[in-house]
A and B are shown apart, each in its own frame.
Chain A
């Protein structure tokens, strides 16, 4: 069964996303951008998906350990952004100083 959309989505990616099947995925524009930027890197083969995935998973686990009983305040894309930052820094794509400085400019 070919997908209905012309542009295929990566099912591995779709499977880690919250609220699939028609629910709005994103609550804010920055969530869209953080998601899109990471997936472009994956699609261009610059970052292995598994590297992104395990970091997102680890970021979520960390949050869960620190917030037992407060699950309602969980934000998937906050964890996603944290994982993406760490990934870019670890891989030497951007430096932490560079990122902090740019974020200060974009506030």
Chain B
């Protein structure tokens, strides 16, 4: 792979020559930007943490932000799963048996009913987890993945170890790397996606979720459970999920 290099760097070869010194005063050499606070950066991790704490406490003191507000923001972004429309499809299948049947027969067509589809999802097959069968998907050749329902693939999905070990010993991989122990009496089925067919998993609906709305159900469905490396957890597992 070619080394990435900012376009401007070409006309300023001296940026490269002076690299060793630059580590002490990154900002000071940067012209045309009001950034140079740089006499302090880079900083050790402990100092960065102290400065972040200092900012938070000063902002709190001035009445501009509170810890609660920060927590809420962090929570929203940490759980932002991007275009994970699959959760919506799963929730619909959980409450609508006829839709579930159509989904398992032809996932691409069923998703299209909900306005979900497009590139990399032309031929999707949704496989159902049951008390007897646990499904998990991978792509042994590269990283084929049902984008329209799951968004971008996680980094580990592309790792050679995941792709190889999932086929060689799925139970061990799920247990060791994902903390998911599949009981011996449950069959594990591994599905190998390709550019022609992309698999994904319909997880089991958790117990005690009868009272939840379709939208609340969708919030329980994780990306990993639709890849098959996690199971769907109950409503109590998510802050604010049950009331």
B19 partner, pick from A9, A41, A68, A90, beta carbons under 8 A? A68
CB of A12 within 8 Å of the partner chain? no
Query: Contact mask A1-13 → B, CB, 8 Å, 1/0?
Result: 1101111110001
* Interface of chain B: mostly helix, strand, loop or mixed: helix
Residue pair A40, B9 in contact (C-beta under 8 Å):
no
* CB neighbours of A13 from chain B (8 A): 77
* CB neighbours of B219 from chain A (8 A): 4-6
CB of B236 within 8 Å of the partner chain? no
CB of B22 within 8 Å of the partner chain? yes
Query: Contact mask B11-44 → A, CB, 8 Å, 1/0?
Result: 0100110010011001101100111011001110
CB of B45 within 8 Å of the partner chain? yes
Query: Contact mask B53-72 → A, CB, 8 Å, 1/0?
Result: 11111110010110001111
List the A residue with the shortest CB-CB distance to B57: A102
* CB neighbours of B38 from chain A (8 A): 62, 82
Residues A67-98 near B (CB distance < 8 A) = 67-69, 71, 78, 81-86, 88-90, 93-94, 96, 98
Residues A2-51 near B (CB distance < 8 A) = 2, 4-9, 13-14, 17, 19-26, 28-37, 39-41, 43-44, 46
Closest beta carbon of chain B to A37's beta carbon, Å: 5
CB of B161 within 8 Å of the partner chain? no
Residue pair A33, B82 in contact (C-beta under 8 Å):
no
CB of B78 within 8 Å of the partner chain? yes
Closest beta carbon of chain A to B229's beta carbon, Å: 11
Q: How large is the interface on A (under 10, 10 to 19, 20 to 34, 35 or more residues)?
A: 35 or more
Residue pair B55, A85 in contact (C-beta under 8 Å):
yes
List the A residue with the shortest CB-CB distance to B20: A66
Closest beta carbon of chain A to B22's beta carbon, Å: 4
Complex Cα–Cα for A84 and B72 (A)? 19
Complex Cα–Cα for A86 and B65 (A)? 18
CB of B3 within 8 Å of the partner chain? yes
* CB neighbours of A28 from chain B (8 A): 45, 49
Complex Cα–Cα for A83 and B51 (A)? 12
Complex Cα–Cα for A55 and B36 (A)? 11
**Which of B83-91, B104-112, B163-171 forms contacts with chain A?**
B83-91
Most buried by A among B33, B75, B219: B33
* CB neighbours of B62 from chain A (8 A): 93-94
* CB neighbours of A1 from chain B (8 A): 85, 88, 115
* CB neighbours of B45 from chain A (8 A): 28
A14 partner, pick from B43, B82, B87, beta carbons under 8 A? B82
Residue pair A35, B74 in contact (C-beta under 8 Å):
yes
Residue pair A66, B26 in contact (C-beta under 8 Å):
yes
Residue pair B55, A4 in contact (C-beta under 8 Å):
no
Interfacial residues, chain B to chain A (CB-CB below 8 A) = 3-6, 8-9, 12, 15-16, 19, 22-23, 26-27, 29-30, 33-35, 37-38, 41-43, 45-59, 62, 64-65, 69-85, 87-88, 115, 151-155, 215, 218-219, 223-224, 240
4 A-B pairs closest in CB distance: A36-B70, A102-B54, A30-B49, A66-B22
* Given A30-B53, A78-B43; 13 other pairs, CB 8 A cutoff: A7-B75, A30-B48, A37-B56, A37-B65, A41-B65, A43-B73, A65-B22, A66-B23, A85-B55, A93-B62, A103-B51, A103-B53, A105-B54
